[in-house]
């Protein structure tokens, strides 16, 4: 069983606690919260891979929070709620949920949905951590297409890049295999420096990995303890690198 970090946000202890116990027995790390506000207070310490989110919560509702939580964490979102009408399910998916389960739920079904989503989002267990990973080069090369604002995998999978993603990749591909500090990478995010609780860089790397979830090649960007990130390569750059302004 992979080490999956789960944030379980539900205000009903009679539901939340048995679910948490079951998932922990299956080898997952589970953080419980009774509201979105409680979860946000400890967000920097959790870095979840997947969020299990109730709709009817005290304070900010699950529907209102779903997209923002996904954007802030880069995690997959599974709504688990008693509101099982068709319109509610559609709204939940429209708001950013990857899956929508209705209470009462089967624990085995929940586990299957969690594992399916985990595989789909790319098994990213390094974003948001400083775990040191051995730098091993890929057998085939990636291409950073500066003029097309795209990153291309060795098997031809192409992903369009946002301005922030473009800026980060332009630094990481300058010298493949050489780590780039978090402070330099934060410049590409138009931030003066990296704060201890700022996870925006880690979320961006997680999103980049998810863009290649259907590729035969995992994006090889790796975290380097106490430094930042590295693109081990081999990677080629196509076109000139303009100033990132859009």
Distant-in-sequence, close-in-space partners of 16: CB < 8 Å, separation ≥ 6: 8, 10, 32, 34
Residue 130 has pLDDT above 50, yes or no: no
Pairing type for strands 142-145 and 150-152 reads: antiparallel
Stretch 30-50: mean pLDDT, rounded?
A: 84
Closest among 93, 59, 75 to 8, alpha carbons compared: 75
DSSP state of 215: S
Stretch 200-205: mean pLDDT, rounded?
A: 84
Q: Where, residue-wise, is CATH 3.40.50.2300 in the chain?
A: 5-120
Pairing type for strands 76-81 and 50-53 reads: parallel
What is the distance between the alpha carbons of residues 85 and 81, in angstroms, rounded to a whole number? Answer: 10
Which tokens is 235 given?
């990677």
Rg (CA), the chain: 19
Q: Tell whether domain 5-120 is in CATH 3.20.20.80.
A: no
Residue 39 has pLDDT above 50, yes or no: yes
DSSP state of 70: H
DSSP state of 75: -
**Quick check: 211 and 159 in contact, CB under 8 A?**
yes
* pLDDT band, residue 135 (cuts 50/70/90): very low
Q: How far is CA 161 from CA 22, 117, 166, 246, in A?
A: 39, 23, 6, 11
DSSP state of 201: H
The pTM for the full model equals 0.53
- pLDDT, greater one: 110 or 140: 110
Closest among 79, 80, 122 to 220, alpha carbons compared: 122
Phi, psi of 45 (to 5 degrees): -95, -5
CB atoms within 10 A of CB 128: 24
CB atoms within 10 A of CB 19: 19
Q: Where, residue-wise, is CATH 1.10.10.10 in the chain?
A: 142-238
CATH number of the domain located at residue range(s) 142-238 in this protein:
1.10.10.10
Stretch 71-99: mean pLDDT, rounded?
A: 79
Residue 197 has pLDDT above 90, yes or no: no
In three-state secondary structure terms, 232 is: coil
What pLDDT is recorded for position 15?
92
Q: Alpha-carbon dihedral of residues 64, 96, 44, 61, nearest 10 degrees?
A: 20
């Amino acid at each position: 069983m992979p080490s999956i970090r789960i944030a379980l946000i539900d205000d009903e202890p009679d539901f939340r606690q048995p679910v948490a116990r079951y998932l922990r027995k299956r080898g997952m790390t589970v953080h419980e919260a009774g509201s979105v506000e409680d979860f946000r207070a400890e967000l920097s310490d959790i870095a979840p891979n997947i969020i299990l989110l109730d709709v009817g919560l005290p304070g900010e509702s699950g529907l209102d929070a779903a997209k923002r939580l996904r954007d802030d964490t880069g995690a997959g979102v599974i709504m688990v709620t008693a509101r099982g009408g068709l319109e509610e399910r559609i709204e939940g998916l429209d708001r950013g949920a990857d899956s929508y389960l209705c209470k009462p739920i089967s624990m085995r079904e929940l586990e299957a949905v969690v594992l399916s989503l985990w595989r789909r989002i790319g098994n990213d267990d390094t974003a948001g951590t400083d775990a040191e990973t051995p730098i091993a080069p890929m057998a085939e090369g990636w291409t950073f297409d500066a003029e097309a604002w795209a990153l291309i995998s060795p098997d031809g999978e192409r992903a369009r890049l946002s301005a922030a993603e473009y800026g980060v990749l332009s630094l990481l591909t300058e010298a493949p295999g050489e780590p780039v500090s978090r402070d330099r990478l934060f410049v590409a995010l138009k931030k003066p420096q990296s704060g201890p609780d700022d996870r925006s860089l880690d979320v961006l790397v997680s999103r980049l990995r998810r863009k290649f979830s259907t590729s035969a090649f995992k994006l090889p960007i790796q975290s380097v303890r106490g430094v930042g990130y590295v693109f081990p390569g081999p990677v080629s750059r196509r076109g000139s690198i303009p100033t990132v302004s859009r």
